[in-house]
Amino acid sequence: MQVIRRVMAIAAAKLLICLSRLFGYHGTDFPGRVARKIDPDILKKLGANVQEEIFIITGTNGKTTTTNMIARILEEKGYSFVHNRAGANMVTGITTAFIKESNLLGNRPYEYALLETDEANVPLLLKELTPRVVLITNFFRDQLDRYGELDRIISLIKDAVRNTDIELVLNADDPLVVHFQNDTGLHCWYYGFDDTDYDLFQGEESREGRFCAFCGEELQYERFHYAQLGKFNCPRCGSRNPRRNFTGHDLRMTPQIHFFVNNIEIHSPYLGFYNAYNILAAVAVAKLVGIQDEIVQRAIASYQPRAGRMEQFLIGDKKAIQILVKNPTGLNQTLAALNTDPASKSLFFALNDNAADGRDVSWIWDAQIENIAHPSAAIKGITCSGLRSGDAALRFKYAGFNEGIITVESDLEAGIKACLDMEAEVYYFLCTYTTLFASRKILSRLARKTTRPRPKYNLAQPAAGGE
Amino acid sequence: MATFCIAHLYPDLMNLYGDRGNLICLQKRLQWYGHDCLVQPVNLSSEVDYSTFDMIFMGGGSDREQGLVYRDLLRRADQLWKQLDAGLPALFICGAYQLLGTHYESADGKQLKGLGFFNLCTRSEKERLIGNIVLACRINQQIITVVGFENHGGRTYLEDKSLEPFGMVLAGFGNNGEDGQEGVRYKNLIGTYLHGPLLPKNPAVADYFIHMMAARKGIEITGTLNDRLEDFAHQQIKRRILGS
Ligand SMILES: [Zn+2]
């Protein structure tokens, strides 16, 4: 009976996955939900087919990029693994991911499972799966978390991992995670950055996690790497950053990321300090699995950004970069990356207020747009688009930009074209969730249209501007 | 050129939903009018003399933070009221607005005392009132629309019927979703549930505060600002909500 139920659950879900593909949906949650109705133990059963290890990756920011990078490394090594893609990080989506990689009998072995999930889902997932490692990238409080929601989730995760054999991989630079070791008694691996040339000595205007997790005293920071991530100590109880097992050092951003992890040299086409953290976390996990340095280096160097994660388009001879922004923290990260790029820029910001974006657009006032409103950021033009293009334009105006360089084009296509019409060396497209895919479609189309077949013989010709 | 000084009450505790954008707005507009503007943070247990400020601003916070702030404010409540009653311009948003009343009853039935400046009270319910909101307000003898975003569990009632609301609700919930009133208005004080933040998209309200501050200093604000983007943003959301 058990076997029949399992096979039925898998068959039904596989059929639904096929059907949803046929109709152009990215069948993610629904097939898993149906399978779980038929066989509530399906995830437990399929989870037992993982021969090596299950990894769970969670945290407020960076979990998708980190998980994708680890996936790229496992792929490079040639391992087979289950991986739930972004957007399918609930228990149902994870069930779908397992079924996709399974055979009908539900007994095909996988070497690894790489599961990205929201913080609040970790306790649910641990009821059905037994991971070796839980990686927590960071905890950021954004405006929606000010009612103590984050503190509640942190203690739920702690309760769920206590009395297990799980090993935690934690960010040594985040004061909101360092007390996990003390509170859970689990073995913890720490990653973090040595001093870098990009550190600040004064924090941004925000109060995220600035208080000691042990005694509540306000922490003293020697330096900030990024937001509340940095080198800190507590003047009252003396707690400080834990000792690192994986140290990022000699960071350079040109703006592409170059640095070392325990003397392993890493290059990545990604930009921004927060992505350096994502890479560092991915390398830490790869080294825990025992993957060779060369494979890690090759995988990270070849890992290209995906939709909304600094994906690049070449439109004629213009370099366009698209970035998803969805909260003040993410927007601040993006602005920090823009600041490390010395090229002259034309900026596009599409702001929608659909449910998936958040109905309340006031979060743009919690981001430090002021940080890019100075001449060395080299911003030549700003085009605001989307349903709330007006709110976006006001935010830039009041951040200190001259109104003369701000254009409002609520229509996405018109906005994208207006942005590309500006004179600049690089074009940044910042999009909230529901403007992301529509904008991407337009950018892809423009990129295709302007890419002429390459001449077979390349005669030496002067670069652009010779007309 | 004059220098204006605005007190930002409890910036670490009371700053939800981009409310500090109101201060950015006042500061910039004063600069564009040719003046200087300092924003002075006032934190828990810092000693202040409210008579030294041109305006008071306080944003919203969670229940816990509101309790801390209440106890601190109470120490100087008389002094603060004296200034407000004398016409000190002031903007109190959401949680700060609720504190001005006699009491606040949280969703789990706990009673928190308010400063009691006005005979209004707030009862909190589980279901929050969330969404875009449009008001009709009287500013400088003119009826204008004011747009914003509200997100509050509290239902506020102006018990004293002679109290003037900040505006009447054209779309949205307002004080309690029942009587069509939004906020409170007294002399140059506005208490309101509107986040968004309020002032950038409602430049007439921002300029109302600026003119009141200037008048109390005996200064005249001259010239007008180019509000093309402000008006566009205002109309964009107003059209979406009212559908015209
Ligand atoms: Zn401490």
Is there a contact between A303 and A69 (Cβ–Cβ < 8 Å)? yes
Cis status of the peptide bond prior to A375, with omega within 30 of 0: no
Size of interface A-B (CB pairs under 8 A): 83
Is there a contact between B123 and B106 (Cβ–Cβ < 8 Å)? no
Residue range B151-197, pLDDT digits in tens? 999 999 999 999 999 999 999 999 999 999 999 999 999 999 999 89
Instruction: Please judge whether B24 and A398 are an interchain contact, meaning their C-beta atoms are less than 8 angstroms apart.
Output: yes
- At A20, is the secondary structure helix, strand, or coil? helix
List the single residue in A147, A366, A391 with the smallest CB-CB distance to B233.
Answer: A391
Q: What is the pLDDT of residue B120?
A: 96
Is there a contact between A242 and A177 (Cβ–Cβ < 8 Å)? no
Residue of B25, B37, B94, B137 marked active site: B94
Among the listed residues B89, B157, B158, B148, the one whose alpha carbon sits nearest the alpha carbon of residue B124: B157
Enumerate the residues of chain A whose CB falls inside 8 A of the CB of residue B62.
Answer: 146-148
Residue range B89-119, pLDDT digits in tens? 999 999 999 999 999 998 778 888 899 999 9
Name the closest residue on chain A to residue B195, using Cα atoms. A362
Is there a contact between A67 and A57 (Cβ–Cβ < 8 Å)? yes
Q: What is the pLDDT of residue B237?
A: 96
Instruction: Please judge whether B229 and A146 are an interchain contact, meaning their C-beta atoms are less than 8 angstroms apart.
Output: no
Q: What is the pLDDT of residue A463?
A: 38
- Residue bearing tokens 């290890």: A53
Is there a contact between B6 and B26 (Cβ–Cβ < 8 Å)? yes
Domains of chain A: 2-302 (3.40.1190.10), 309-449 (3.90.190.20)
Name the closest residue on chain B to residue A396, using Cα atoms. B229
Mean pLDDT of chain A: 87
Name the closest residue on chain A to residue B61, using Cα atoms. A146
Enumerate the residues of chain A whose CB falls inside 8 A of the CB of residue B24.
Answer: 365, 398-399
Query: What is the A167 CA–ligand 1 centroid distance (Å)?
Result: 25
pLDDT above 90 (res B210) = yes
Domains of chain B: 3-242 (3.40.50.880)
Closest approach of A362 to chain B, Cα-based (Å): 5
Please give the model's pTM, rounded to 2 decimal places. Answer: 0.73
List the single residue in A359, A363, A394 with the smallest CB-CB distance to B233.
Answer: A394
**Residues of chain B with a CB closer than 8 angstroms to some CB in chain A:** 12, 16-21, 24-25, 28, 61-62, 64, 130-132, 149, 151, 195-197, 200-201, 226, 228-230, 232-237, 240
Cis status of the peptide bond prior to A269, with omega within 30 of 0: no
List the Cα angle A443/A445/A450 in 5-degree steps: 95
Separation between Cα atoms, residue A246 and residue B147, nearest integer Å: 50
Active site residues of A: 360
Quote ipTM for the complex: 0.96
Is there a contact between A338 and A345 (Cβ–Cβ < 8 Å)? yes
% of chain A residues with pLDDT over 70: 91
List the Cα angle B204/B207/B213 in 5-degree steps: 145
* Res. B222 pLDDT band, cuts 50 70 90: very high
Mutation target vs B (from A352, A397, A408, A410; most B CBs, 10 A cutoff): A397
Residue B211 designated active-site: no
